[in-house]
Structure 1
Amino acid sequence: MRAEETESQLALAAEMGRQEERHAAQAMVDEARGTLSTLVNIHERGAAYVKQTERGMIASALAEQRRGLEEEIRQSKLATDTQQAELRRAAEERHKREMEKMLEEVQAAQRALAAAEEKAFVLARKFENTREGRIDFMYNKFSRKLLNGDLARGWQSLITMRDDKRYMAELVRISQGRCFFLFPTIRSAFSRWTTLKADLEALAKLRAEQAEKDAEQARVDRIAELEAELVKARGEAAEAKTMMLQARESTTKLAASELRVKELNQRIGESAEVLERERAEAKRSADQQRLLAETELKRLLADQRQSLEAQMVLVVKEADERIRMIEDQCRMKLESMQRQQVQIVEERIVNGEPALTSPVPEDEQ
């Protein structure tokens, strides 16, 4: 009985030892699992924190770089606009000065032109008061008088022709268009016509003689007047010639002033064209600078994006390396715990103690 009790006690003690060893091994396994889970959670949180931090840092770096580039572009655009405004203002001021100078020259030319016209008018008035001017005036006057005399003689000829036609019509009406030598009335009418014809011819002859005498006297008077005026004109010809030369000089100056005005107008047009070309060139230069700035910004953004992508790749690689290191550490610790458990079992076997009956968990192996 005592031996059986002893055996039962030994068996109970062995069973209790096995249970304690099982509980200890299970506790070690649970501890290892908890440690591994904790390490995995720490690794995941660390990786998430690293990714979030690096993503935020990359986003903030990109935003900061974008703000810097936008500020540089804004400063460049502002400098370009300022430069264009200065160029435009300088061109406008230069054009304004040139226009004022040209306007002064045009006004001076206009004043010179007005003075030349006034001088020419004064010279013309003086010329009218000279002998040559009076000769010219008298020549025009006598020319008009001769023309009027020719018109008067022509008018008188027309009146005579009209009277003759009316007289012939009256004779035809009285004779009724018949042979005048057959009837007494016709003979008397013919007699009357003959008498009237003789009277009219005598009157026409007298008028012609008187007209010839008047014309001859007028020619004599005209010749005398012209000779007298010619004598006066020869004395004043030199003075008139001098005044004509002065008038010609004034006309030459007037033509030169007009030519100067044309040249100034042409220069004004050329200056306007040059200003327009400068404005177009400034606008084209500004557009080119803006395109260059946009191209440079795109290139810088592309380079920065490539650099950030490369940095992201490096960060991801580092995170993966850290995760692998943590996994290796956990695996090494688990293997160490397994080796310790095997060593404990071997020591119990060597000491003659019963081995643990509970198997090692599959996931721990």
Structure 2
Amino acid sequence: ADLRRRLVRGLSWMPGLAIVGQYGRAVVAPAYAPDEPGLADLVALTLQDMFADGIFRELYERWFPGDSPPACENWPGAATATLERVDVVARGPNTIAAIQTRGRLQVAMVANQPPFAYLDAAGQPAGYEVHLVRLMADRWLGERTAVDFVPVTLEEGLRLVAGGGADLLIGAVVHTREAELEVDFGLTTYVAGVGLMVRAGTPLGGIAGLEGQTVAAVAGSDGADVLWQVAQTAQVSLVILAKASLEEAIAALEAGEVVAVVGERADLLGPAYATPGVGVTADRLTRVPLAFALPPGDSAFRDLVNLTLQAMGREGLLAAVYGEWFDDDPPQLPPWPGEPAYPLRIVLAP
């Protein structure tokens, strides 16, 4: 028994042997200088492209025959990064210093994204991501109310975070390739994607349960195209009924005209909470990562966010908060071994 990387090396010396069993996990990844968002984007997007075109699998199987390559998170979008186009950041923001000076978090919030981030009946910020941010404020500053939430549109929020005008952007922000080139992101806190809304108690049982059924979709939406492709691959015959709006599609579901509504989970969850007798299944026809957007080129703050999320994951706190808002399991955070080299707190300036 030994570390896997050393055992693999031994296979080249002693043909005929094999590695059996896997009793622990340690993540291995390229390391590069901090506060270099352009280089980080170049490395990450290039690796994703290598996964997509099969080059990574080919290289992995050449060096680790019989072993399955690790999974790679796939950010949606079409943006690319090249060495010639890498932006050089002379000096990134010091987000932690800004928080130390003001004594509070400044959080931009896309406020019309229930159950992730929204204003409740009293006009107060609420939602899964709001809850997470308050817990971070409690851990960092000793007070969960030490947060100022600023309602914004997605475009406004990205500009604020990119310019250092906000510490984080929340509100079901999709970690796309395009956004990655503008800002940094924390670890994935929710896996969205195309999903299905059904009446409560409907025994759907996955895509196979749609055989011979009618499903509503908003006309021209990506959900309809994704469902059609998945159904064809699974050899499932179904009918997609186009509706002019999500409200009309849900009305058709309530009336029994269709067995399900297909659409982006982030768009379906809010109406599902507000509509008695319907819910969103755990099925994901696509997988789209949602994460906190962070100021670019500030590795120290990104580390603080990610290490705090991991600490909350180990303590079971992340799963507990997730379970208050969703019925499925939270995303699996990467298992970085070891303990943080410093306390996950922010000491205020005198």
Scaled to the shorter chain, the TM-score interval is under 0.3
Bigger fraction of residues in helix? 1
Query: Scaled by the length of structure 1, what TM-score is found?
Result: 0.14
Query: Scaled by the length of structure 2, what TM-score is found?
Result: 0.14
- RCO (CA 8 Å, sep 6+): is it higher in 1 or 2? 1
